[in-house]
Copies of this chain bind each other. A is one copy, B any other.
Amino acid sequence: MRQPVPLDRCTRLLNHGPTVLVSAEHAGRRNVMAAAWSMPLDFTPPKVSVVLDKQTFTRTLVEASGHFVLAVPTAAMAALTDRVGSVSGRDVDKFAALPASAEPGPATGAPLVDGCIAWLECRRIPEPHNEQAYDLFIGEVVAAWADDRVFRDGHWHFDGADASLRSLHHIAGGHFFAIGDEVKYTPLGEG
């Protein structure tokens, strides 16, 4: 079930490097794409960055609306994540054409894609040089949400949950890894 995540913990939703869905809405049109290139940028206020190619319709909607959502899809959503990264929303309403649904984010109105395990609602911080030179967009996170089956008390709990709920990590050409188990180790001392 989707629960709010305190903003001072929200970078933890992306720290482990999952592939994300980027979604946006403007004037009644909405779209979603996949992005392997995103990362947190700051804790307070929380900021994130994501690469949005100039060809993408999602970028057009982000520029027009000033908002976007980064969401973390699951292993069960691999086919959908692959597909939304391969077709353009200029030509087709992906939400209608694909088995995808979403509801407006409470903070921004941008779409929260159903079935994901985390969502960060972001306000675009305009940085024209970065956007033109690097396709790099920066946003301040204004609300964050996570599925409490796998994220509770500020931490991911993948180990005890169904494997279909693990985050996806794209390599290339539709090949994804799922996140694995927690690594146990003995911390190094001060010596």
Contacts and interface: CB of A to CB of B under 8 A. Distances in A.
A177 B75 CA distance: 16
Contact of A134 (B37, B42, B51): B42
Interface residues of A, number: 54
A136 B48 CA distance: 11
A7 interface: no
A156 B183 contact: no
Copies in the complex: 2
A142 interface: no
Interface stretch (A9-17, A22-30, A116-124): A9-17
A91 interface: no
A178 B175 contact: no
Contacts of A175: 155, 182
B183 A75 contact: yes
Interface of A: 12, 15-19, 36-42, 47, 49, 51, 75, 78-80, 82-83, 98-99, 129-130, 134-136, 138, 154-156, 158, 166, 168-172, 174-183, 185-188
Given A38-B39, A42-B135, 19 more contacts: A12-B172, A15-B169, A15-B171, A17-B39, A37-B41, A39-B49, A39-B51, A41-B51, A47-B134, A49-B49, A79-B185, A129-B129, A134-B138, A155-B171, A166-B180, A169-B179, A176-B182, A178-B182, A180-B180
